Amino acid sequence: MQSCPLCLDSSRVLTTAAYGEYASVYCPACQLQFTSPMRHPGWEFYRDYSHYEMRARESDPAAGDWMASRDWRFRTFFSLCSPSSHRRVLDIGCGEGKFLAVARRKGFDVYGIDLDPRAVELARTLRNLRNVRAGDWEELAQVHGWNNFDGITLFDVLEHLATPLRTLQTISGLLRPGGIICITVPRLDRYPRLFDPQADRPPHHLTLWTERALTILLGRAGFGEVRVVKRPVMVEDFLLHTMWRTQRVVRKFRLAENPAGHDAQPSGGQRGSHWKLLLRKAILESCRPADWLLAASRWGEGFTLFACGIKPAHQ
């Protein structure tokens, strides 16, 4: 039986489900759900995974940048960090650079790395981000100038990694003393379970987290002043859930019509993208009162946890 990647104990873990060669396992002591075996599938898996298709064909960054500006994860980061105190920021798993573009506009000196070269190319060409690299972040220790960061972010990255504790211990070496690490992860105990259930299965997600599990992880990685923030349930969660479900059905029909898998989608052009962005803004802005009511009622548990910790000054 696979040992818990946090407490390293295998005597109390419970197998909760099986998915082919993988099993989902739960550690009641750490309240962490993990996978047996804990094995990363390689970036080729993500290249072919339907959730990341847009990385190959994004053409208008306006919609993505507007969504990024209202992203709860990013807004939470900016509420805790300012360019004056955490100027140099490294985003591990930067994707197309949406967070980095917003952070740059706010005055941060931004750096990013991602395994997917398509995403990094989009970050460079669409958002004019220069300090972005394609490759494994563990190689950064050998890159001149890519260290002593004031802040390091991992937005929805940790759940994909096979060695979460070792990852954070290694990342600590890229931070200056007093620097901050910020992590977001999918929440195990969310309610309602508004997320594509297949996306939560291994090998896409190797771990699902609770507040206790994140607190243990950051503490054992050597970080202090640990804080965990819970994302509230929002109306857009229901909209995204509907969109994911619809996309999956549409994709099945397209693959049935084109078994070769060439799922090219014609772009609506810049004008079409403009109207889609306006419609999306109108819908989401109209949902604000409902979001306030959901927050005030404290109904449900959002599907994301945000955790941060400070690297001690003596390290």
Helix (H) or strand (E) holding 276: helix 269-286
| pLDDT beyond 70 at 55 | no
Buried residues in 127-139 as b, exposed as e (16+ CB within 10 A): bebebbbbeebee
Which range in 8-12, 48-52, 129-133 is most confidently predicted, on average pLDDT?
129-133
Mean pLDDT of 116-137: 93
Mean pLDDT of 90-117: 95
Nearest to 181 by CA among 144, 143, 137: 137
Beta strand pairing call for 149-155 and 175-186: parallel
Q: Which of 39-53, 60-74, 206-220, 239-253 has the lowest mean pLDDT?
A: 239-253
Distance of CA 55 to CAs 47, 61, 96, 135, Å? 9, 11, 7, 16
Indicate the pLDDT class of residue 85, thresholds 50, 70 and 90: confident
Dist CA 271 CA 210 (whole Å): 43
Measured from the Cβ of residue 9, the count of other Cβ atoms closer than 10 Å reads: 12
* Model pLDDT for residues 177-202, shown as the tens digit of each residue: 999 999 999 999 887 666 667 788 89
Nearest to 147 by CA among 117, 170, 164: 170
Distance of CA 174 to CAs 167, 180, 244, 290, Å? 11, 11, 36, 41
Dist CA 183 CA 253 (whole Å): 36
Supply 258's token pair.
């084109």
Supply 192's token pair.
């309602």
Buried residues in 57-75 as b, exposed as e (16+ CB within 10 A): ebebbebbbbbbbebbbbe
The beta strands (E) that lie in the chain are given as: 14-19, 22-27, 32-36, 88-92, 109-114, 132-134, 149-155, 175-186, 207-208, 224-230, 304-310
224-230 β-sheet, strand order: 132-134, 109-114, 88-92, 149-155, 175-186, 304-310, 224-230
Q: Are 41 and 34 in contact (CB under 8 A)?
A: no
Q: Are 138 and 162 in contact (CB under 8 A)?
A: no
Mean pLDDT of 65-80: 89
Across the chain, mean pLDDT equals 84
Mean pLDDT of 91-101: 95
Tally the residues of the chain: 315
Q: What is the 3-state secondary structure (H, E, C) of 214-251?
A: HHHHHHHCCCEEEEEEECCCCHHHHHHHHHHHHHHHHH
